[in-house]
Amino acid sequence: MLEGKNIVIGVCGGIAAYKMADVVSGLVKMHADVHVVMTKNATNFITPETFKVLSKNKVYVDVFDEDTDDYTKVPHISLGSNADVILIAPATANVIGKMANGIADDMVTTVVLPATCPILVSPSMNVHMFENKIVQDNIEKLRSYGMSIIEPDSGHLACGYDGKGKLPQPDELIEHIVYAISKKKDMVGKKVLVDAGPTQESIDPIRYITNRSSGKMGYSLARVAAMRGAEVTLVSGPTNLKTPLGVDKIDVISAKDMYDAMIQNADNSDIIIMAAAVADYTPETVAENKIKKKDGNLNIPLNRTEDILKTLGEQKKKGQVIVGFSMETENLLANSRKKLESKNSDMICANSLTIEGAGYQVDTNIVTLITRTDEEELPLMSKDDVADAILTRALSISSLT
């Protein structure tokens, strides 16, 4: 995802500097070209050697240690100028103060000045330092200069205090970077409604009926749509997944909850994508108390749930694009095409549970996009890439409607 991207990481002197090793390593694994600059104080917490080994690039601490024969490419200018994104993390109160006032007296504060790329600043410090009016004013100033501030996490801080000031986890920092430089912003102005995950249908206070959906495909769709600039609402059944950056999430439990949330949000959505594995049946009644074991078998009467996709297809607004999924174990294409017709959808993403690398729980998928006019079989891809392809196709249908 970050192939060919040039990323500059500015590490400052906070205890959380050690977390940046995982950030650099993660970015390199995603094929980014990562350049680390550090303040002198940061080297008390983690050595430049660590970042050098992980990034495979020289790490700069001293503006006068530029080690170059070509003075048209002095690193304190070229690093920032050539970057696709800069992340300053952990950003200390000191460095934030300097950046807010245009002071450039070390490598980190110097590289940001010539940069024209997105600059992300991730403050990390003691809670009272963070809440200090001067620090808050400086953060506001950075915002007003167009820098993006990554809110610190709350919790137990290394200084012994509890509160806001923790550096977010490496995967979250990486997500901010990916979000900032994602390739295209071609969905700005589009409202996208996605549902994801399984539903749980209660039998009694202890038991429920559910399915094997992990929610990964729907979350990928929401994440990629947000990265492409869409305004995204994600209606999610119970999953263990983190809400993607920039996505508005509504948590639901049952098929009925999901129906209500989808219907409520459908009217002003441009693209609706139903990736959830919605229960087709729900217990006729939910026992108030635990159902006790008795001799013989137990039969639980089940009622049909509403078909959300079908309802939305019947109520489809002009210009709206509706995309469904189809999970089959046999006759994949024929059954999926039937769903396209019967649910008045614009596209069905058909995936077979019987192919390795496709379906529930895994991070990859093999999908055939079935529209009214054609069928396109996508190869095995990550769910994020599948999401990207689905959104591109939905956008092109949307431009024709």
Whose Cβ is closer to ligand CTP: residue 27's or residue 323's? Answer: 323
- The least CB distance from residue 335 to ligand CTP, in Å, is 7
Residue type, 390: I
- The least CB distance from residue 166 to ligand CTP, in Å, is 37
Given the structure tokens 């995603």, which residue do they identify? 30
Whose Cβ is closer to ligand CTP: residue 110's or residue 352's? Answer: 352
Choose, by CB under 6 A, the member of 94, 200, 220, 305 that binds ligand CTP: 305
164's enclosing H/E stretch is strand 162-166
Residue type, 178: V
Whose Cβ is closer to ligand CTP: residue 51's or residue 325's? Answer: 325
Alpha helix (H) ranges present in 182-331?
Answer: 216-227, 255-266, 308-314
- Tell how strand 347-352 and strand 321-328 pair up: parallel
Q: Give every CB contact of residue 117 below 8 A, 6+ residues apart in sequence.
A: 80, 83, 84, 85, 86, 181
Choose, by CB under 6 A, the member of 326, 351, 365, 371 that binds ligand CTP: 326
Query: Which region, judged by CB under 6 A, interacts with ligand CTP, from 149-157, 300-308, 371-379, 383-391?
Result: 300-308
Query: Which region, judged by CB under 6 A, interacts with ligand CTP, from 73-81, 126-134, 215-223, 322-330?
Result: 322-330
Q: Which of 12, 117, 159, 349 is catalytic?
A: 159
Residue pair 199/237 in contact by the 8 Å Cβ criterion = yes
Query: Which region, judged by CB under 6 A, interacts with ligand CTP, from 42-50, 131-139, 222-230, 270-278?
Result: 270-278
Give yes or no for residue 325 binding ligand CTP (CB under 6 A).
yes
143's enclosing H/E stretch is helix 133-144
Residue type, 353: L
Q: What angle do CA 54, 58, 61 make, to 5 degrees?
A: 105
Query: Which region, judged by CB under 6 A, interacts with ligand CTP, from 172-180, 225-233, 302-310, 392-400?
Result: 302-310
Interatomic CA distance for residues 305 and 387, integer angstroms: 27
- How many residues bind ligand CTP, per CB under 6 A? 14
DSSP 324: E
- The least CB distance from residue 323 to ligand CTP, in Å, is 8
349 is catalytic: no
Give yes or no for residue 309 binding ligand CTP (CB under 6 A).
yes
Alpha helix (H) ranges present in 232-345?
Answer: 255-266, 308-314, 332-342
Choose, by CB under 6 A, the member of 266, 308, 386, 390 that binds ligand CTP: 308
| Residue 152: other Cβ atoms inside 10 A | 22
Residue 315: helix, strand or coil by DSSP?
coil
Whose Cβ is closer to ligand CTP: residue 65's or residue 314's? Answer: 314
| Stretch 369-388 residues interacting with ligand CTP (CB under 6 A) | none
Choose, by CB under 6 A, the member of 280, 358, 380, 398 that binds ligand CTP: 280
Given the structure tokens 């901010």, which residue do they identify? 176
Residues marked as catalytic: 159
Binding site for ligand CTP (CB under 6 A): 255, 274, 276, 278, 280, 305, 307-309, 324-327, 339
